[in-house]
Homo-oligomer: A and B are copies of this chain.
Amino acid sequence: MRIVMIAAQSLDGFISKHAEPGTGFTSPEDKAYFREVVAGFDVGVFGAETYRVSREAIRSRMSGRLLRVVMTRSPARYATDAIPGKLEFTQAPASALADDLRARGFRDCALLGGSQVHSSFLASSIVDEIWLTVEPVLFGGGTPLLAQAADVRLDLIATEKLGGDTLLLKYRVRR
């Protein structure tokens, strides 16, 4: 199962603007790209805070084949939101979750944030690629791309312009 981390950040590495939750700062071009690219995956994994911030938007787009898996310390809290095979909640750590998804036959897994999910998967050395949208802004503060210190070496696969000033950079993670 291929695991691809998909994120959008300011040029200086923040996935939120200051203390504002969510990705309101991203360009229309990134939002369109994001919707399209995620549809190409069969499972998307994200954290509970991402779920809380985007709950309505996520629940309004439950058609399609994508399984959404929310990583949370308290799956029971979300029992009434869960729809097996569509929207699941788990407290499994990254590597166990990846093993489980692989065993269930999933082939393409997108990591959809936030920084804690990025860090836990990278720390387990199970991320294959990083597709990073770089918006033409500097924030000097906000939620960082990664939640913990890391030392990850990447190989550049591709650079692309998404819109006028928005870049999409694709990297392979060295193991």
Interface residues in chain A, defined as those with a beta carbon under 8 Å from any beta carbon in chain B: 9-14, 17-18, 119, 122, 130, 132, 134, 136-141, 144-156, 159, 161, 164-167, 169, 171
Given contacts A18-B149, A159-B159, A164-B156, contact A11 B138 (CB under 8 A): no
A-B CB contact pairs (8 Å), 11 listed = A11-B13, A11-B154, A12-B13, A12-B146, A136-B155, A139-B149, A139-B151, A155-B164, A159-B159, A159-B167, A165-B171
Copies of chain A in the complex: 2
* C-alpha gap A123/B145 in the complex (Å): 24
* C-alpha gap A153/B138 in the complex (Å): 7
Residues of B close to A148: CB separation below 8 A: 140-141
The answer to whether B140 touches A144 (Cβ under 8 A) is yes
The answer to whether A167 touches B165 (Cβ under 8 A) is no
* C-alpha gap A161/B158 in the complex (Å): 11
Interface centre among A14, A155, A161, A165 (most CB of B within 10 A): A165
Given contacts A154-B165, A159-B159, contact A13 B145 (CB under 8 A): yes
The answer to whether B11 touches A171 (Cβ under 8 A) is yes
Contact of A152 among B14, B130, B137, B155 (CB under 8 A): B137
Using CB atoms, name the residue of chain B closest to A135.
B154
Using CB atoms, name the residue of chain B closest to A141.
B149
